[in-house]
Amino acid sequence: MPLKFSQRLADLSVGDVSAVIQMAWEDRTSFETIQERVGLSESEVIRLMRHELSPSSYRMWRKRMKGRVTKHRALRSPDMKFEDRRVADHRRANC
């Protein structure tokens, strides 16, 4: 039986939560990469951001992310030359 979101959130370290927030704010790091790193889906990342950010910061983040094609690998242009997995690797928190 899959864990509920609240249990999965409780299982994340402070460093993991910080890393998710940082990756979620980055334009280049896709939601798929976040899921590979910490196991949270796009909707769970949205819930985490709503829980962890102030209301105004959350609204600003949602406005910024709405319709941003770089946050989804499938929507990206094949001409994009960066690899978001490497960006996420070097910024991984050590906590």
Domain residue ranges in the chain: 13-88
Distance CA 26, CA 30 (A): 8
Instruction: Evaluate if residue 78 carries a pLDDT over 70.
Output: no
pLDDT (tens digit per residue) in 14-37: 988 999 999 999 877 888 888 888
Question: Residue 82 has what DSSP assignment?
Answer: -
pTM for this model (two decimals): 0.69
% of the chain exceeding 70 in pLDDT: 64
Contacts of 64 (CB under 8 A, 6+ apart): none
